[in-house]
């Protein structure tokens, strides 16, 4: 990985952990996520238009499918993540969500694709499982009634991460859709999908969310697209197998924020667990 790609990914990791911290601080809900998408679409529209013109991007009809699929998956991702934070700690939900995708990928590869990962990848999987053990006391608890609060939503969130990562990589590297343009198109479509959900839950959901959380809405609207645009930019000229593990340093940042700023319990254990998960994901990607 080049120094430029590494700088992009590390900045993305910090921005990603930060907006998740802000989401945890907010009251959340579908109204909150709708306003985040709408605000971000307004804020980032000039940059998207500028990149479109600067690179001379030519839209083709085939570009619609990754935009639509990514927007729909991201809608589910944000709703699940928000529910996770309403029920659990940042230092538990975030690491589990970020770790699920790589573990699922290697499991599917072994079970259905006949792949035989190397020793480094298997060691990485073991580290992720060990990290989950430290977070939960027993990984099997993730599938039981007494699992940690928010863990179920974290696991489902991880499934969406694995899916949108593949789709978005195709969008920016195969179809060469400019990263800011692609992310803005997904944002705009996400407003369309989230708006009816928010108003169906409560007619005044949007107004109530703005009154209660407008500071967090604006901050998340800035940092969430920024974090992912940085990753997409890195993926445009760097193999995803290098980008994916490096960006998971956000797990450490989020665990630090949760234990230090939110005063979540078991700080030492959770930080050690987060470190093991980061090392494990690196092993999975590089092995």
Band (217; pLDDT cuts 50, 70, 90): very high
**What global pTM score does this model have?**
0.84
Query: Which range among 38-42, 101-105, 108-112, 231-235 has the greatest average pLDDT?
Result: 38-42
Q: Is 263 helix (H, G, I), strand (E, B) or coil?
A: coil
Q: For residue 189, what are the CA distances in angstroms to 74, 83, 89, 231, 269?
A: 10, 21, 30, 20, 40
Share of the chain above pLDDT 90, in %: 45
Share of the chain above pLDDT 70, in %: 86
CA dist., res. 79 & res. 76, Å (int): 5
**What local confidence, expressed as pLDDT, does residue 189 receive?**
96
pLDDT > 90? residue 82: yes
Average pLDDT over residues 254-266: 86
Q: For residue 190, what are the CA distances in angstroms to 15, 27, 42, 82, 260?
A: 20, 20, 13, 15, 33
pLDDT > 70? residue 102: no
Band (52; pLDDT cuts 50, 70, 90): very high
Q: For residue 211, what are the CA distances in angstroms to 22, 33, 166, 217, 273?
A: 16, 14, 37, 10, 37
Where do the structural domains in the chain lie, given as residue ranges? Answer: 3-286
**What local confidence, expressed as pLDDT, does residue 44 receive?**
94
pLDDT > 70? residue 47: yes
pLDDT > 60? residue 139: no
């Amino acid at each position: 990985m080049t120094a430029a790609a590494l700088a992009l990914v590390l900045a993305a990791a910090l921005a990603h952990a930060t907006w998740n911290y802000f989401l945890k601080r907010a009251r959340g809900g579908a109204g909150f996520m709708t306003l985040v998408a709408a605000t971000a679409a307004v804020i980032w529209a000039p940059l998207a238009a500028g990149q479109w013109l600067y690179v001379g991007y030519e839209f083709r009809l085939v570009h619609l499918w990754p935009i639509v699929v990514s927007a729909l998956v991201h809608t589910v991702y944000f709703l699940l993540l928000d529910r996770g934070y309403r029920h659990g700690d940042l230092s538990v939900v975030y690491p589990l969500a970020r770790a699920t995708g790589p573990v699922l990928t290697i499991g599917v590869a072994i079970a259905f694709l006949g792949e035989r990962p190397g020793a480094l990848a298997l060691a990485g999987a073991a580290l992720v499982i060990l990290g989950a053990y430290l977070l939960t006391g027993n990984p099997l608890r993730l599938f039981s009634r007494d699992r940690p609060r928010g863990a179920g939503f974290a696991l489902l969130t991880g499934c969406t991460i694995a899916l949108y990562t593949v789709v978005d990589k195709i969008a920016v590297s195969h179809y060469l859709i400019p990263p800011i343009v692609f992310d803005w198109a997904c944002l705009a479509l996400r407003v369309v999908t989230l708006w009816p959900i928010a108003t169906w839950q409560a007619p005044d959901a949007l107004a109530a969310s703005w009154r209660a959380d407008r500071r967090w809405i604006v901050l998340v609207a800035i940092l969430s697209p920024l974090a992912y645009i940085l990753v997409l930019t890195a993926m445009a000229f760097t193999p995803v197998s290098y980008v994916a593990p490096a960006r998971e340093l956000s797990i450490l940042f989020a665990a630090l924020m949760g234990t230090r700023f939110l005063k979540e319990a078991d700080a030492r254990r959770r930080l050690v667990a987060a470190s093991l998960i980061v090392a494990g994901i690196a092993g999975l990607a590089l092995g």
